[in-house]
Amino acid sequence: MYKFFSENNNIYINGIEEFDLPHTLDCGQAFRWKCDENGVWSGIAGNKFLKLEKLSDGTVVLYNTNETDFNNFWKNYFDLERDYTQIVKKLSQNPTLKAACEYSYGIRILNQEPFETLCSFIISQNNNIGRIKGIVERLCENFGEKIDGGYAFPTAEKMASLTVEDLAPLRSGFRAKYLIDAAQKVANGEVDLYHLRYFPLEAAQQELMKIKGVGPKVADCALLFSHHQDRAFPKDVWIKRAMYTLFDGELPDCATDYAGIAQQYIFFYARDTKLLTNE
DNA sequence: TCCCAGGCTCTCT
DNA sequence: AGAGAGCATGGG
């Protein structure tokens, strides 16, 4: 279990297992984190700007944040209460999953804000990660609240007041109409975005799929990355290739309870190694 | 120039 | 219910 202390308005965390910053922050689950040339990461989540880095002794430092924000927000955001060592051990019962876990070591599933995650993965459809980041950034700059360090992700209420034409500066293409529909249905309560972690998985998927442009894959990403639905298993092109090439079409039984977490390890492994084909 | 990207909708069998 | 075209945009 980790320990932390606060000093000079920084939080120092010791003894975290399975927490690699590049793998966690740049594996395609979140789109607003950047790394500078010194290995310091910065990003915005939950209307807060954060800088962090991992020191050579393994200490993770969160800069310019206090104990209250750590306990109320970042601890959960980085999923620090979860024992990933146990999960990796369980997944590693399968040799291929073991290889994926070793390659993708230190990926944690972030607990992100639901509306931001939903919009991000609406934007992700038939798109590439570099371009997704650009569209998300323009969305925040144009319509998000100005905060210290940048712009917050816009609220559903704010976006529900906009039109497809208003979103032209994003250059998000056909996805703009989906973003507006999502904002309206969340803002007017037609979609209950804030209790989905308590829904059975299939009901939660159906709830999200009331939104235009949200199919099974986008729904599963939203559920996994912002609603603690660990059995959601988003199937994108890379996972489909991996399932065919590495697993003969079926996820091993040892991954059932943590299918979503396994998915993220497989996704990173497959995309990074580029060893896969569609055949 | 064509192909592809963390897919989905719409239409036609 | 299943297959296939079309979709906006930009990088390789």
**What CATH number is given to the structural domain containing A214?**
1.10.340.30
- Residue A197 inside a domain? The answer is yes
Within a domain: residue A68? yes
pLDDT level of residue A279 (50, 70, 90 thresholds): very low
The pLDDT of residue A275 is above 70: no
In a domain, A169, yes or no: yes
242-271 on A, CB < 7 Å from strand B: 263-264, 267, 271
What length does chain A have? 279
Domain boundary among A57, A81, A105: A81
Q: Which domain does A139 fall in, by range?
A: 114-226
> Tell me, what's the pLDDT at A241?
87
A65 and A138 both lie in a single domain = no
pLDDT category at A182 given cuts 50, 70, 90 is: very high
Instruction: Please determine, for residue A278, whether its predicted confidence score (pLDDT) is greater than 60.
Output: no
Whether the CB-CB separation of A69 and A46 falls below 8 Å is answered with no
pLDDT tens digit sequence for A116-160: 999 999 999 999 999 999 999 999 999 999 999 999 999 999 999
- A136 and A198 part of one domain: yes
Domain membership flag for residue A89: no
Q: Decide if pLDDT at A105 tops 50.
A: yes
Residue A277 has pLDDT above 70, yes or no: no
Q: Both A7 and A71 in a single domain?
A: yes
pLDDT at residue number A271: 87
Please write the tens of the pLDDT for every residue from A29-71. 999 999 999 999 999 999 999 999 999 999 999 999 999 999 9
Residue at A99 is within a domain: no
User: Which of A230, A248, A247, A232 lies closest to A84, judged by CA?
Assistant: A230
Q: Is the CB of A126 under 7 A from strand C?
A: yes
Q: At A262, is the pLDDT very low, low, confident or very high (cuts 50, 70, 90)?
A: very high
pTM of this structure: 0.97
Q: Give how many domains chain A has, as a whole number.
A: 3
Chain C nucleotides with an atom closer than 7 Å to a protein C-beta: 7-11
Q: How far is it, in rounded angstroms, from Cα A76 to Cα A82?
A: 9
Q: What is residue A276's predicted lDDT score, i.e. its pLDDT?
A: 59
Whether residues A66 and A124 fall in one domain: no
State how far the alpha carbon of A272 is from the alpha carbons of A84, A172, A203, in Å: 21, 25, 33
Residues A210 and A245 in one domain: no
The residues of A annotated with a catalytic role in the active site are 217
The pLDDT > 70 percentage for chain A reads 98
